Amino acid sequence: MNMPNLSTSANASADLMEKIVSLAKRRGFVFPGSEIYGGLANSWDYGPLGVELKNNIKNLWWKRFVQQRDDMVGVDAALVMNPKVWAASGHLATFTDPLVECKKCNERMRADNLPEDLKCTKGGQHEFTEAKQFNLMLKTFLGPAEDDANVAYFRPETAQAMFVQFKNVLTTTRKQLPFGIAQVGKSFRNEITPGNFVFRTREFEQMEVEYFIPQPKSDEDWNKYFEMWRVEMNKWLSDDLKLNMDSVHEAEIPEADRAHYSKRTIDFEFDYPFGRKELYGLAYRGDYDLKSHQDASGESLEYTDPHTNEKYLPHVIEPSLGVDRSVLAVLLSHYHEDPVESKDSTGQAATRIWLSLPAKLAPYKAAVFPLLKNKPELVAKAREIYDELRKHFNVAWDDRGNVGKRYYSQDEIGTPYGITVDFDTLEDNTVTIRHRNTMEQERMNASDLVARIKSKLED
């Protein structure tokens, strides 16, 4: 496997990022948002293959983190909540980034993350104002009147609904501690410096768990759950996303850099081409949120221990994962370029670009090719096989060009199997199945294809 080395030179890294953005657009994973109107800075739309990849990631996460556990349940809450939620959670007061503005060119930047090269477009160096705190919540108005009474905010994290609905979930599910609530959905932040493709955008998706634990009597009492989720997050990265784990690093965040609610945070960082940066976070939020909402709403959010009848506010461990950063890390980790012996039409040595996506993540699990598209009996047989496979998983159809080109085209989008239907298929129902990773081909009975491909989905 020829994996471009992410840490070689700055040029190679920039190059890899360009290749990923270009592949994403060329093959329909991610398009620039509002492109026909000149785009909207840092907004991206997931295309036909991107939505499949993204859904596969979210569904796998839901399966691992919710459905396969006895101690988890899910919710799907409104994006806009009562503004009192954000006053209580501390977001209105503290969800801010320090912002500076150049007095000459008016460019705005995050004061805590200024680039080394501070050249101003109006000449010389930037001349910055004093830093002021800028709230990152995206404001809107509910109803026709745009006045203070109707101000509302798009949620900056999915987390708060899980605290606000804690009592309802507890009452309806009769769960006992420890147990968690999970949610997947959009969050919005008016980021000062979005960028690096889908890494930092103003609208993004999160997969979050709020895991409620008994009130700890010692650090060990919460640390064991923190550790359990740390291990789970690593399993997700290595077993489900199958990332190159040499590119993943855990960073203990010092108190001064932690969010206002956190008593301990570990960032899972990834070696992106633009540097080592946050992929996910794991935080111990104590009872900060339940206490804040209990105080602000006047509603008791206490839990009654069924054994001791003791009433108390549970504490919370929070694994928080970004969907879009998962997509980016998956594309980067699974991108390969291999030289191939045949030359292309210009006589240049050709390159095979391929994505080693786990079958579970691949937009298509297989592609079906009739050897020749002008032979109706071949096309009909291929169509029959395609329709049968489609009952079980997502399958591509391609009848353009020669079969070799079709294999390469599917390699580029990570389809694990290519299935060619030829004249022998009409005689004995066998097909050629070609494996993406090894490029090996074998002959097998078409009636065994479903079982073969399904077994790959278990890997």
**In what helix (H) or strand (E) does residue 92 lie, and over which residues does it extend?**
helix 91-94
Residue 211 in contact with ligand GAP, rule: CB under 6 A: no
Binding test (CB under 6 A) with ligand GAP, winner from 278, 388, 399, 412? 278
Phi, psi of 444 (to 5 degrees): -145, 165
| Interaction of residue 432 with ligand GAP, rule CB under 6 A | no
Kindly state whether residue 417 participates in binding ligand GAP, applying the rule CB under 6 A: no
Where do the H-state alpha helices sit in 152-218?
Answer: 159-164, 166-173
Structure token digits, residue 449: 């294809």
Q: Please, what is the minimum distance in Å from the beta carbon of residue 419 to ligand GAP? A: 36
User: Do 100 and 108 form a contact (C-beta atoms < 8 A)?
Assistant: yes
Strand partners, 38: none
Q: What is the DSSP string of 236-279?
A: IIIIIS---GGGEEEEEPPGGGS-TT-SEEEEEEEEETTEEEEE
Give the residue, chosen from 49, 159, 301, 382, that forms a contact with ligand GAP under the rule CB under 6 A. 159
* Part of the chain binding ligand GAP (CB under 6 A), chosen from 199-207, 344-352, 386-394, 448-456: 199-207
Q: What is the largest CA-CA distance in the chain?
A: 79
Q: What is the DSSP letter of 195?
A: B
Among 52, 97, 157, 240, binds ligand GAP (CB under 6 A): 157
| CB closer to ligand GAP, 177 vs 198 | 198
**Distances in Å between the alpha carbon of 286 and those of 96, 210, 217?**
21, 11, 12
CB atoms within 10 A of CB 261: 21
The single residue among 27, 325, 434, 436 that binds ligand GAP, judged by CB under 6 A, is 325
Q: Which of 32, 185, 281, 370 binds ligand GAP (CB under 6 A)?
A: 281
In angstroms, give the least distance from the CB of 17 to ligand GAP. Answer: 16
315 binds ligand GAP (CB under 6 A): no
Candidate list 97, 101, 289, 324; residue touching ligand GAP; CB under 6 A: 324
Of 89, 135, 196, 201, the one binding ligand GAP (CB under 6 A) is: 201
Which of 189, 264, 360, 406 lies at the binding interface for ligand GAP (CB under 6 A)? 189
Pairing of strands 72-74, 179-188: parallel
Does position 264 interact with ligand GAP (CB under 6 A)? The reply is no
In the complex with ligand GAP, the residue whose CB is nearer, 191 or 422, is: 191
What is the gyration radius of the CA atoms in the chain, in angstroms? 26
